[in-house]
Structure 1
Amino acid sequence: MKKQLIALSLLVALGGYAQKKKATKTTLKPKSEFVTDLMSKMTLDEKIGQLNLPTSGDITTGQSSSWDIAKKIEEGKVGGLFNIKTVAKIRDVQKIAVEKSRLKIPMIFGMDVIHGYETVFPIPLGLSCSWDLKAIEQSARIAAQEATADGINWTFSPMVDISRDARWGRFSEGSGEDPFLGSRIAEAMVRGYQGKDYSGNNSLMACVKHFALYGAAEAGRDYNTTDMSRIRMYNEYFPPYKAAVDAGAGSVMVSFNEIDGIPATGNKWLLTDVLRKQWGFKGFVVTDFTGIPEMIEHGMGDLQTVSALALKAGVEMDMVGEGFLGTLKKSLDEGKVTMAEIDNACRLILEAKYDLGLFHDPYKYCDVNRAKTEIFTKTNRDIARRIASESMVLLKNDKQTLPLKKSGTIALIGPLADAKENMGGTWSVAGRLADNISLLAGMKSVAGNGAKIVYAKGSNLDYDAKFEENATMFGKTLHRDNRSHEELLKEALAVANQADVIVAAIGESAELSGESSSRTSIEIPQAQKDLLEALVKTGKPVVVVLFNGRPLALVDEEKSATAILDVWFSGSESGYAIADVLFGAVNPSGKLTSTFPRSIGQIPIFYNAKNTGRPIANKEGKFEKFRSNYIDERNEPLFPFGFGLSYTKFAYSNLKISSAKAGMNDKFSISVEVANTGSFDGAEVVQLYMRDLVGSVTRPVRELKGFEKIFLKKGEKKTVTFNLSAEDLKFYNSDLNFVAEPGAFEFYVGTNSNADMKVNFELTK
């Protein structure tokens, strides 16, 4: 009888949702009251268990009861799982939690849904080059729709790290170098994933990462030390994280690097003072993979010490490390952590589950009908194709070589021409590699019967087979050809000699950028450089279709190729989307969100740098002694931030400012007329930059302050207006106060960060 009364009291405490055989949607008490009531019934072990996030290792459906983590779930020692997909598997595991554990607390299920689920969109760096916030939000919405249809309710995205060092492999996962654009994209991604709220079963909780400064790793080496001033943090690196938090992101992931000598995972200033107190973040913080035990190698102490450090700093969930699970009880006994700290962490995890609706219905995301009808649909793939074509950047187009004609013979040559497994790029973990569309397949489909497409591989990714193996992991093989380079080249030239124009599909493989893919050279691998040189020597037009996950040094390619189209890694529909642009069905409109250096020696290079007291005076790239320049290279990049060509021409005119002076409480606007003066309809990204001429601290030479993507038919003209106020002129001063200072400003409008149309402005007291 006593046992029956205990069971009955638990059912009442949990709002009546838990049922032995079946969990159904029900009405619960308000969140705070519900969670408080539940926690009053939890043991210390169960509370600590909610902070534990192991990886599933994936399981076979129907085998979950014999799986090694199953016993921990039954004991209430697992708060969530990641790297598990399909409704059948997730339902099977959730069943253990809600039917076999004492308090029947449901689990949260996460996955790296980075740029699409099974329908894969361009890598985030490519997406950012669309400068189309609606398209970016739509890509996240579709990713959420598909992932939640497969049982997942939490994604480790968006990655909003600012990066200015192209050696860093994870450049591919972010939105480039600019904090303003990065902030707008962060907001769009959070909105896309989470929707307006979690009331439906198609909202995916976002996890902003990597907090913080991960993209500034020294030497561009992954997981390496980061060190910078606070004023730089606040002005240049923090804004996208804050924008995502302000947009309502449900969780934040801590970065691997240290900040001010303390690893981010144990950095209380970062996780409590900044994230909680200054920004008002209400969600929970999760470590990155084994982030807590990795602090041991940083020299912060043993597992018990670093686990306590992380909890006290403001970490709520331990990914894979099991430092919380194994040591917090002992640390509590020894007074190294408090019960209040454990309770607070547990509460935040439970509140997130409540918000997701898992206490109302633990199987909310386990609808088999959705899984059958909402994943990898034709509609989703068609949208992915359109967005992919928007992300591509035309870097060069001599003699109007592009668009190609659907006639004659086109030679498609290169190791990435028929490489469908690579089209999704890095972190496409749920992607269907076998269903990706290769460039060869896409060109043949789009060209139809009009043009003859002839193909040769031409070269391997690189001469070094081991290098290629490391760059084609996770099933993204390039099917290395064992013939000699001479044999491959001979075949390629024979194919090229049949053609009117050559398309060279070269660059990086999908895993040559991404996590743990830092490079000391950011040039195209030598085997492909040699192939391109031989193709150019045929005297025929050579169009480079460039695959890459980072800015590359392309001085040789820019000199020799007739045209260059940067396609990044464009996702499931890559081949179709690239062919749409090559043949002119889509006019390229992408603009670079990262500066392309001439040489690796210029890195880090970015448009919104500070001036020196001895800036270079000439614009011809000539060396001047006792000026801030290189003795062996020009200062300026090969391609500036915001750069991108079109098949048409755009003319800017009639730049106006509504008022040359305005006060702190006034608004003002800047307008410009943009006309399509070319022969094609097309889209243009109109960009607004500012320079604060005098400040209490040094200010960047330019800062992006607005942009608008407009579509113009040939011959059409539109006026673009940017509405501004003193709020848009603010920055963090040396006291880390967010201020706008009276004084003189310059505003520039144009097609990239080198825009030269200018108006002057004065902000008055």
Structure 2
Amino acid sequence: MIRDPRIEDLIARMTVEEKVGQLGVFADAVRPFAPDVNPEVNARGASEVLDQIRAGLVGALFNGVGALEGREAQRVAIEESRLGIPLILGADVIHGMRTVFPIPLGEAASFEPDLAERTARVTAVEATAAGIHWTYAPAVDIARDQRWGRGAEGSGEDVVLGSAFAAARVRGFQGTDLTATDSLLSTPKHFAAYGAVAGGMEYNSVDISEQTLRDVHLPPFKAALDAGALTIMSAFNDINGVPASASRELMTDILRGEWAFEGFVVSDYTADFELVAHGYAADERDAARLAFIAGVDMSMQSGLYAAHLPDLIEKGEVSMEMLDESVRRVLSVKSAIGLFDNPYRSLDPVREADDSLREAHGELARDAARRSIVMLKNDGVLPLRKTGQRVALIGPFGADQDNLEGCWTLFGDKTRHVDIASGLRAVLPELVVVEGSGIEEPIEGGIEAAVAAAKAADVVLLAVGEPQNYSGEAQSRTQIIVPPAQQQLIEAVAATGTPVVILLKNGRALALTGAVRNANAILVTWFLGSQTGPAIADVVFGDYNPAGRLPVSFPQDAGQQPFFYNHLRTGRPELADQPPAFKSRWREITHEALYPFGHGLSYTTFEYTAPKVSAASIGWNDTLVVSTTVTNTGKVAGEEVVQLYVHDRVASRVRPVKELKGFRKIHLVPGASVEVSFELTRADVAFTQRDGTFTAEPGAFDVWIAGSSEGGEAAEFTLRG
């Protein structure tokens, strides 16, 4: 790190207490906005917090909003503290500020990182207008177990897709100039392997190999840092018995040593304090010591650093050099985003009051939402006609306003949210809407009313699935199914014989059963945000041809979890041309997805030619070109997500049955064809060896270009040593 003389001068003049103060981020009691998220954070009043800022004992505040009040807190820091060091103001702004976009998992279904970059850019514009410099996003955890609720915040089960979206969101949040008024500092989280918790249970232990850690869970973080992220958040979980927030291997050896990261690490909420509950630290003082020497620079909310670091320094258990280095990192980031030169950046009440851009942001929200919808199944019932067809919208989410945003949305402008019924009625005013059941409980007469509406209709849209509080933090599920009360409603409606279209609301892959699985059509509509209703209407009536693809595998049964497409091949794989006895499978079902990763249908059809390789054999430093011709064989224009998969046939470590290595979304009019090519080098087929080195191995490979992780015709090539 090149040392800034201004920062060095500050460090030289700071007391130990002032240095430690820069390493604390506390709840923004000056402008509290979301007291229900962590109720204990507002125990201190605004005057107490301002006094601490005045004394130089606070480096950052979080989850407050408001330019005017933020400006006052900053004024106290600049004008009334001894050294005038500016605050950095952070918040959990995950997938939208006032305008709410689809949950990140849903947006990943677009297979368009550029879309995520655009929605993150708008999020940054709105968040910085409200007096926020720093967001605790994106979540880049790879989630291979759909029982885990926080999969909704990430980009699914695949490392290539996840890395692409991680980088895109960082670019979107931060923009091209970190000092710009609308640049929002990003924080990839949760470092690391949080998505690998045992049993999909929140905050649980993680026991994985070094190779899996490095090949699956670390690459999205590296992609985010390479895209310019300057802060990173430590995770709650342990990894192989060592809590992440006390792991020097993660925070120092890998992050700073191998990756040369120069920004700072912030703990997740009280993660340093939780080292005691882990049984890893003897007490709070020991927890502060362990987290700090591991490399966690900034402590969130626990207050442990303020309480114990001065004494640890005095007793020689933590060196002054280490303290200075953490302070240097924090101040360098504040400098990088322009706070020393313009401490009141992003604290303009006039800009906050200007909502002239909100209309354009709504249009992007609508486009992002419809691009996130995945059509799993359609027997021809969709798209619906806008005239001459009686349509009933049935289900607890039809006219529901409370489950549009999804998890981790603190600041959304609910006055601008449009529910499903309102979106559909804008096209079909005579739409019949019946609730049918509650989300978790039946309602008196609900099924009877729903059945009557279904019998009188030509087609039923069933808005069913999970409420938003079923996914997100602390929302693990053992049964990833549609709640029983809704399933009962669905079965009754389906029994009428009226064609049924499922509008599935979900924050994870679900195990679909009975009448849901057997419906005429199924649309995965996730939690789509502010423009939920118009986006669904666009797809249902054919104004937008669905092009989303699954970023997670939908299992046949909840008991298959953890389940993901790129699993390792066993010594007894279940193969189509062999009897199933004594094979790798469950007793009740086959070892395959109900709907695989990458799957999604359209109102048109696409045909692929067999993939071609530019050479049967390539040298160690050569590039292979793999290509196919894709043709729109249907009657309407549409988009296809062309996906490249590879399998290493023989290696020193058992390799996945398939691995995504590239993807591209194309648009074709009826009858049109286009050649789609991908390049592969040895870096694309490299993996972490048993000795920890990262390299490819010579040998034979299979390669597919297909519309999902299942199917497609394979070509082959050899990599020479």
TM-score band, normalised by the shorter chain? over 0.9
Q: 1:186 aligns with which of 158, 163, 166?
A: 166
Equivalent residue, structure 1, for 2:669: 713
User: For each residue in 1:248-273, what CA deviation from the matched residue of structure 2 results, as whole angstroms up to 9, or x when unmatched?
Assistant: 21100000000121111111011101
Q: Please give the TM-score of this superposition, normalised by the length of structure 2.
A: 0.96
Q: 1:526 aligns with which of 479, 484, 505?
A: 484
Preserved CA contact (<8 Å) 1:208 1:253: yes
- After superposition, the Cα gap between the structure-2 partners of 1:519 and 1:654, relative to the gap in structure 1 and judged at 3 Å, is closer
Equivalent residue, structure 2, for 1:457: 435
1:590 matched to 2:548: yes
RMSD between aligned residues: 1.7
Equivalent residue, structure 2, for 1:207: 187
Partners of 1:376 and 1:556 in 2: CA distance: 45
Preserved CA contact (<8 Å) 1:446 1:580: no
Matches within 5 A, 1:90-129: 90-129=70-109
Quote the offset at 1:404 in angstroms: 4.3
Partners of 1:304 and 1:118 in 2: CA distance: 40
Matches within 5 A, 1:52-451: 52-57=24-29, 59=31, 67-299=47-279, 300-373=281-354, 377-447=358-428
Partners of 2:111 and 2:577 in 1: CA distance: 29
Quote the offset at 1:31 in angstroms: 6.2
Equivalent residue, structure 2, for 1:48: 20
Partners of 2:476 and 2:681 in 1: CA distance: 41
Decide which moves more: 604-613 or 554-563: 554-563
Partners of 1:516 and 1:200 in 2: CA distance: 35
* Aligned-partner SS, 2:630: strand
Amino acid at match of 1:340: E
Quote the offset at 1:619 in angstroms: 6.5
Quote the offset at 1:402 in angstroms: 2.8
Equivalent residue, structure 2, for 1:39: 11
User: For each residue in 1:366-401, what CA deviation from the matched residue of structure 2 results, as whole angstroms up to 9, or x when unmatched?
Assistant: 122321235761001101101110010001101343
Preserved CA contact (<8 Å) 2:394 2:461: yes
Quote the offset at 1:694 in angstroms: 1.1
Preserved CA contact (<8 Å) 1:403 1:584: yes
Partners of 2:46 and 2:349 in 1: CA distance: 24
Preserved CA contact (<8 Å) 1:424 1:433: no
- After superposition, the Cα gap between the structure-2 partners of 1:31 and 1:277, relative to the gap in structure 1 and judged at 3 Å, is closer
Partners of 1:58 and 1:360 in 2: CA distance: 23
* Aligned-partner SS, 2:629: strand
* Aligned-partner SS, 2:650: coil
* Aligned-partner SS, 1:446: coil
Structure 2: segments with no counterpart, 5+ residues: 34-41
* Aligned-partner SS, 1:744: strand
Q: 1:599 aligns with which of 534, 557, 581?
A: 557
- After superposition, the Cα gap between the structure-2 partners of 1:673 and 1:78, relative to the gap in structure 1 and judged at 3 Å, is same
1:650 matched to 2:606: yes
Amino acid at match of 2:499: P
Partners of 1:343 and 1:77 in 2: CA distance: 15
1:672 matched to 2:628: yes
Preserved CA contact (<8 Å) 2:491 2:514: no
Equivalent residue, structure 1, for 2:36: none
* Aligned-partner SS, 1:69: helix
Quote the offset at 1:57 in angstroms: 4.2
Equivalent residue, structure 1, for 2:459: 501
* Aligned-partner SS, 1:722: strand
1:732 matched to 2:688: yes
Instruction: Give the paired residue count.
Output: 710
Partners of 2:162 and 2:692 in 1: CA distance: 21
Preserved CA contact (<8 Å) 2:133 2:184: yes
Q: Please give the TM-score of this superposition, normalised by the length of structure 1.
A: 0.91
User: For each residue in 1:678-722, what CA deviation from the matched residue of structure 2 results, as whole angstroms up to 9, or x when unmatched?
Assistant: 111110000000001111111111100110001111221111110
Point out 4+ residue stretches in structure 1 off by more than 4 angstroms: 63-66
Preserved CA contact (<8 Å) 2:614 2:626: yes
Partners of 1:66 and 1:510 in 2: CA distance: 32
Partners of 1:385 and 1:274 in 2: CA distance: 40
Amino acid at match of 1:206: S
How many percent identity over aligned positions?
43
Preserved CA contact (<8 Å) 2:555 2:563: yes
Amino acid at match of 1:696: S
